């Protein structure tokens, strides 16, 4: 962006991304698996917010913009429902705006990502999955899986199943998202750009020109020969979603970057994948490898 140039309005930027999302969801693989859902989504994207709307504001675009603002400023579900009810009453009588957050989520459901909610030990010992799936206490440190009230005894297995989990990992599986990328003709072409579109003139123009990339290709020749194989970068750091440094809450997003893409695309928001979110009262530290297990399993499977 040039110095002094103002950024685009928030709703304009959302409209541009909405068109891309509708296009991606319109790929054959998604339509075959979710034909009725896609038809509804396509209808909502072309449905006017109310009859005679002069600014061509569509239902899907309006709902997506409002939900995005809710997430940006941390509104509660209850307050957002109240806002929708007020805006619905202010609009003309035949408007199609949903009256609750629940109805808004149903409209946006096809655009969401599949995820797994995995309970974790508050001391970062284990994830409650596989052989630990049914346990109520950590097998290593003995701490309860669930939050306990002050008047409850920690030694009671019966009481340990009360309350929310002490720590949670949100895992967004990467396999279906990679499938969606390769199902899109333009994205599939970009994913092999490092092998088919790169200018190989011995200049360092892309990560594929680096010594480290070439070393990996030498160590794993079968991996390097297949141009559709993806080379990924992983990054994580703490963030505070509430904007208050004194809060006793930590969120660690784990991002994946696809290095096969052209250098002008690989760091774009569309292609940076949120693979997991680690939330809890304290940071995982050196025990973050415990939380990476679901991601490593998917990568191994691929």
Residue whose C-alpha is closest to residue 168's, from 115, 131, 216, 226: 115
The per-residue pLDDT for 13 is 42
For residues 99 and 106, what is the distance between their CA atoms, to the nearest angstrom?
12
- Same-domain status, 177 and 297: yes
Same domain, residue pair 292 and 191: yes
The last residue of a domain, from among 78, 111, 144: 111
What is d(CA 272, CA 259) in angstroms, rounded to the nearest whole number?
A: 10
Examine the domain organization and report whether 27 and 107 are in the same domain. Answer: yes
Q: Tell me, yes or no, whether 99 and 177 share the same domain.
A: no
pLDDT at 133: 87
Q: What distance in Å separates the CA atoms of residue 244 and residue 98, rounded to the nearest whole number? A: 32
Residue 129 lies in a domain: no
Instruction: Give the whole-angstrom CA distance, residue 227 versus residue 26.
Output: 26
The answer to whether residue 187 is domain-embedded is yes
Does 180 share its domain with 107? no
Closest CA to 198 of 186, 181, 210: 210
- Is 161 part of any domain? no
Q: What is the pLDDT of residues 14-65, one digit of tens each?
A: 444 544 554 555 454 444 444 455 566 566 656 777 777 766 567 777 888 8
Cα-only R_g, the chain: 23
Residue 208 shares a structural domain with residue 296: yes
Domain boundary, last residue among 111, 134, 155: 111
**Contact at 8 Å (CB) between 249 and 279?**
yes
CA 113 vs CA 92, 110, 184, 247, 273: distances in Å: 33, 8, 17, 28, 11
What distance in Å separates the CA atoms of residue 287 and residue 295, rounded to the nearest whole number? Answer: 15
Per-residue pLDDT of the chain (302 residues; tens, 9 = 90+): 333 444 333 343 444 454 455 455 545 444 444 445 556 656 665 677 777 776 656 777 788 888 888 888 888 889 999 999 998 898 888 888 888 888 888 777 655 567 889 999 888 899 999 898 888 888 888 888 888 765 555 444 544 446 788 888 899 988 888 888 888 888 889 999 888 888 888 888 888 888 998 898 899 989 888 888 999 999 988 877 666 555 667 788 999 999 999 989 888 888 888 999 888 777 787 788 899 999 999 999 98
Whether residue 75 is found in the same domain as residue 179? no
Q: Which of 111, 135, 155 is the last residue of a domain?
A: 111
Residues 182 and 295 in one domain: yes
Max Cα distance, the chain (Å): 71
Buried b (16+ CB within 10 A) or exposed e, 201-233: eeeeebbbbeeeeeeeeeeeeeebeeeeebbee
pTM: 0.67
Q: Which domain holds residue 53?
A: 10-111
Q: Report the pLDDT value the prediction gives residue 238, as an integer from 0 to 100.
A: 80
63 located within any domain:
yes
Assess if residue 130 is contained within a domain. Answer: no
Do residue 90 and residue 178 come from a single domain?
Answer: no
The answer to the question of residue 60 being in a domain is yes
Q: What is the pLDDT of residue 219?
A: 93
| Domain assignment of residue 146, yes or no | no
Q: Considering its fold, how many domains does the chain have in total?
A: 2
Residue 123 lies in a domain: no
């Amino acid at each position: 962006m040039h110095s002094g140039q103002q950024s685009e309005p928030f709703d304009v930027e959302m409209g541009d991304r909405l068109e891309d999302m509708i296009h991606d969801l319109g790929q054959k693989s998604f339509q075959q698996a979710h034909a009725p859902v896609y038809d509804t989504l396509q209808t909502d994207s072309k449905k006017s917010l109310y009859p005679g709307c002069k600014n061509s504001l569509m239902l899907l675009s309006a709902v997506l913009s409002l939900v995005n603002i809710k997430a940006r400023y941390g509104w509660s579900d209850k307050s957002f429902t109240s806002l929708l009810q007020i805006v619905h009453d202010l609009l003309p009588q035949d408007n199609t705006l949903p009256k609750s957050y629940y109805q808004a989520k149903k409209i946006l459901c096809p655009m969401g990502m599949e995820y797994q909610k995995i309970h974790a030990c508050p001391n970062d010992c284990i994830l409650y999955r596989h052989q630990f799936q049914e346990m109520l206490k950590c097998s290593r440190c003995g701490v309860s899986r669930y939050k306990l009230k002050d008047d409850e005894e920690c030694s009671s297995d019966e009481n340990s199943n009360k309350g929310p989990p002490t720590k949670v990992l949100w895992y967004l599986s990467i396999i279906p998202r990679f499938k969606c990328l390769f199902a899109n003709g333009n994205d599939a072409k970009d994913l092999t750009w490092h092998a088919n579109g790169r200018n190989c003139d011995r200049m360092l123009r892309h990560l594929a020109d680096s010594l480290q990339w070439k070393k990996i290709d030498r160590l794993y020749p079968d991996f390097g020969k297949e141009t559709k194989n993806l080379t990924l970068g992983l990054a994580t750091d703490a963030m505070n979603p509430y904007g208050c440094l004194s809060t006793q809450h930590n969120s660690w997003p784990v991002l994946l970057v696809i290095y096969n893409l052209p250098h002008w695309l690989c760091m774009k928001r569309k292609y940076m994948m949120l693979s997991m979110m680690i939330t809890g009262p304290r940071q995982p530290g050196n025990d973050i490898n415990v939380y990476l297990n679901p991601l490593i399993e998917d990568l191994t499977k691929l």
